[in-house]
Amino acid sequence: MKPDDELIRARQRERARIMAWLLGLFAILLFFITLAKTGMNW
């Protein structure tokens, strides 16, 4: 693999990791929104 390809892969990996974290946090946020909306306030 050329050095440029390695850098592209590294960027893609980093962005995919951040996206996974954000989606996970969003799922948790949706869970708490649902609790609050259904009256089970935390």
Binding mask 2-41 for another protein (x = CB under 8 A): --x--xx--xx-xx--x----------x--xx-xxx---x
| Residue 42, both tokens | 């935390």
Per DSSP, the three-state class of 20 is helix
Contact 32, 25 (CB under 8 A): no
| Residue 16, both tokens | 């995919």
CB of 41 to another protein, least distance (A): 5
Binding site for another protein (CB under 8 A): 4, 7-8, 11-12, 14-15, 18, 29, 32-33, 35-37, 41-42
